[in-house]
Amino acid sequence: MNFGKYDRIVRFAVVGAINTGVYYGLYLLFGQVAHYQVAHISAFLIAMVGSYFLSCYFTFKVRPTLRKFLLFPLSNATSFVVQTAGLYLLVDVIGMHEDYAPLITMAVSIPITYLVAKFVLTDRPAASPLAAAQQENPR
């Protein structure tokens, strides 16, 4: 799979789609037996572990290390806060159904996750996804 200067962004999107599916499936499963916030946190943590390995091997093509594994949650910390607060706002304040609210909160947090993951996993300053693609494959 080669998408030229957008290759890494496409790989990030593929990992994101897989991670979203894992998270959402677990969220719905856990939501059958737990409060929606407990289901959210549990699904988020499990999906984050899988996302770490996919991000290392597939998106950024770097070797996983214990240091990176321990730092990787930073790439999701802001995303977690945005998703958790957004979930509360959408479900408890606005009254959106709890099965659909996570889809909106995930979409809002995606760019933040990319930038921090790039910084943590590649040890290079984070740039916008478009700028990163242009740096990797200049014309």
pLDDT single digits (tens) 48-93: 999 999 999 998 899 999 999 998 888 778 788 888 999 999 999 9
Q: Where in the sequence is the domain holding 99, given as residue range(s)?
A: 4-133
Is 139 a member of any domain? no
Is 48 a member of any domain? yes
Q: How many distinct structural domains can be found in the chain?
A: 1
Tell me the average pLDDT across 7-22: 88
| pLDDT at position 107 over 50 | yes
Residue 4: per-residue pLDDT = 74
| pLDDT at position 136 over 70 | no
Q: Indicate the pTM of the whole model.
A: 0.65
User: For residue 32, what is the DSSP state?
Assistant: T
d(CA 104, CA 20): 11
For 118-131, how does the pLDDT look when each residue is reduced to its tens digit (9 = 90+)? Answer: 888 886 554 444 45
d(CA 41, CA 117): 19
Percent of the chain clearing pLDDT 70 (strictly above): 86
User: For residue 138, what is the DSSP state?
Assistant: -
Is 123 a member of any domain? yes
Residue 113: per-residue pLDDT = 79
Helical pair 36-54 and 66-88, crossing angle rounded to 10 deg = 150
Is 65 a member of any domain? yes
Is 138 a member of any domain? no
Q: Which residue has the tokens 């099965």?
A: 99
Residue 115: per-residue pLDDT = 79
Cα–Cα distances in angstroms (integers) from residue 105 to residues 86, 98, 110, 113, 131, in the given order: 6, 11, 9, 12, 25
| pLDDT at position 1 over 60 | no
